[in-house]
Amino acid sequence: MATLVSIVLPTYNGARYLEQALQSVLDQTYTEWELIIVDSYSTDDTPHIIARFCDQDSRIRVIQHPKDQGRLPGALNAGFALAQGEYHTWLSDDNYFRPHALETLATYLDTHPEIDLVYSDFTVFYEGNPTPELRRAADPDLLTEKTVVTPSFLYRRAVYERLGGYRVEYFLSEDYDFWLRAYSYFRFQPIHEDLHVYRFHSQGLTATATRSAIDAVIEKTLLDNLEHSPWTRQRQPRSRIYLYLARLAGRQGAASRQRRYWLLAARYAPEIVLRRLGLAGIERFLGKAAKDKASRGYLRVKQFLRRSR
């Protein structure tokens, strides 16, 4: 018997694209799924669209969840609290699955018991641009530098249960926080097949949030995981997190904080900083003395950077 997949779809006034998202679930070649729609009391045509699909298929159900109770991560937790499947995923109301998405992802987990989370390539459509862009699923080791898990993913129920769900205090970065915590305990695997369509438009959550707000919550997420995630205590992952923090600080124009993060990165893995910055970058961020040391050899710059912290 096929493994049940639980899909949570949170929505609020998502009528513009919701029908396509819901239809993509019904069109799946994999039929062992349940869809839990979490509606935050929409005031547009969303409730009517949902009612029509619920009447069409008994595998779909809907719950109401107040928008002010945890926003997106709160809605996800409300949906997964009712999930009965052994595999979990969630779908935004403005994105949609390729028809074979669930079959491909579920089959991979079925046949690879050592893997706990699988994710795939996906396509991005930008509003006003007719040309789609294929995004490749990156290696999970790069998780300390960016959100490598794509919108096309499936993970075992045990992952959600071990982590206790999505943390509401990390709204705008709830998924990245979830992946960072999960990577301490579970094995991730990318597969290179386009299984999902992500729509970037002016009304989307990412588009309406300010860059500074997103950067601030990502910084908070990274700093928290530095303290509490076992795998980020390793030398190179910790250094890469500080490099990411330095990049965020630079984007915010916080030069002193950026330099502090570069030095912290150098403390744990100076070879990564040397490779990333090069001699010119070391002089710019850490001073001419560091550049002079670097030009005399890697071992010497390694010692100098460690003394500079």
Does one domain contain both 20 and 110?
yes
Does one domain contain both 186 and 234?
no
| In-domain check, residue 15 | yes
Partnered with residue 126 across adjacent β-strands are 200
Among 21, 194, 160, 5, residue whose Cα is nearest residue 92? 21
Q: What is the CATH number of the domain that holds 59?
A: 3.90.550.10
Does one domain contain both 56 and 182?
yes
Number of domains in the chain: 2
Task: Provide the token pair at 17.
Answer: 């694209």
Domain carrying residue 299 = 211-308
Does one domain contain both 288 and 140?
no
Does one domain contain both 37 and 153?
yes
Position 208 scores a pLDDT of 45
Which of 201, 230, 255 terminates a domain? The answer is 201
Does one domain contain both 9 and 131?
yes
Position 299 scores a pLDDT of 52
Task: Provide the token pair at 154.
Answer: 């499936």
Beta-strand (E) ranges in 45-187?
A: 60-64, 87-90, 96-97, 117-126, 133-135, 153-156
- The whole-angstrom separation of Cα 274 and Cα 181 is 28
| In-domain check, residue 174 | yes
Is residue 290 within 8 A of residue 308, CB to CB? The reply is yes
pTM for the predicted model, two decimal places: 0.83
| In-domain check, residue 222 | yes
Task: Provide the token pair at 105.
Answer: 């992802």
| In-domain check, residue 40 | yes
Does one domain contain both 98 and 234?
no
Does one domain contain both 185 and 224?
no
Does one domain contain both 169 and 126?
yes
Amino acid at 109: L
- The whole-angstrom separation of Cα 43 and Cα 209 is 21
Position 22 scores a pLDDT of 99
Does one domain contain both 218 and 248?
yes
| In-domain check, residue 206 | no
Does one domain contain both 155 and 59?
yes
Does one domain contain both 66 and 148?
yes
The pLDDT averaged over each successive group of 10 residues in the chain (309 residues) is 96 96 99 98 96 98 84 96 98 97 99 98 88 93 87 98 94 90 94 96 55 79 80 82 88 87 86 70 59 50 56
Which of 181, 201, 221 terminates a domain? The answer is 201
| In-domain check, residue 58 | yes
Alpha helices in 5-117 (DSSP H): 15-26, 46-56, 71-80, 101-111
Cβ neighbour number for residue 271 with a 10 Å cutoff: 14
- The whole-angstrom separation of Cα 281 and Cα 274 is 8
Is residue 268 within 8 A of residue 235, CB to CB? The reply is yes
Which of 158, 181, 201 terminates a domain? The answer is 201
Longest dimension (CA), the chain: 73
| In-domain check, residue 63 | yes
| Distance (Å) of CA 245 to CA 127, 133, 163 | 30, 27, 24
| In-domain check, residue 267 | yes
User: The dihedral of CA 92, 141, 275, 135: what is its sign?
Assistant: negative
Phi, psi of 14 (to 5 degrees): -105, 25
